[in-house]
Amino acid sequence: MTTKKVVYDIVLVMPIQDDISSPGAFMLKESYDNLKEALAKFKELAKEPGRGEKGFILEKATLAHETIERIAIIDYEYKGYKTLNEFFDKRTKIIKDYIDDKITYDEFRDEQLKNMPTLKINKKYLK
């Protein structure tokens, strides 16, 4: 019996600008030979605030980067927004309101935290 070589791919999921509920395009960001290293990097990505990406997927894949299994996802939830423009307009307004002293730091921080990504890992990979 032979074993197939696998890699662990981090895939960037970019939304369609006018419909952020649609996943849009997938692009290979990084590839790792071992799961421990891939998961560590993936968890670091989850700490970054959203920058317009729909999120990231960590996959177990063949050497040709064909998906075998999804291990984890990082999802940016755009609660109530239909387009990226709406989302960024709101973020820009929050920043401007803070700079202009219209909102407190605590209000600013709370608004920013609403747009943090969520990390979901397949239970069988949690140790």
Q: Considering the domain boundaries, does residue 46 fall inside one?
A: yes
Q: Using an 8 Å Cβ cutoff, are 68 and 100 in contact?
A: no
Residues spanned by the domain of 61: 6-80+116-125
Predicted pLDDT of residue 96: 92
- Biggest alpha carbon distance in the chain? 68
Predicted pLDDT of residue 2: 45
Residue 72: beta bridge partners? 58, 121
Does the predicted TM-score (pTM) go above 0.75? no
Indicate the number of domains in the chain.
1
Q: Considering the domain boundaries, does residue 91 fall inside one?
A: no
Q: What is the pLDDT along the chain (127 residues), one digit of tens a residue?
A: 445 689 999 998 876 666 656 666 788 889 999 999 999 998 888 777 655 555 788 999 999 999 999 898 887 666 667 776 777 788 888 889 999 999 999 998 888 777 666 677 777 766 5
Q: Considering the domain boundaries, does residue 33 fall inside one?
A: yes
Q: Considering the domain boundaries, does residue 97 fall inside one?
A: no
Is residue 2 exposed (0-12), middle (13-18) or buried (19+ Cβ within 10 Å)?
Answer: exposed
Q: Considering the domain boundaries, does residue 95 fall inside one?
A: no
Q: Considering the domain boundaries, does residue 96 fall inside one?
A: no
Q: Considering the domain boundaries, does residue 94 fall inside one?
A: no
Predicted pLDDT of residue 112: 78
Predicted pLDDT of residue 87: 75
Q: Considering the domain boundaries, does residue 88 fall inside one?
A: no
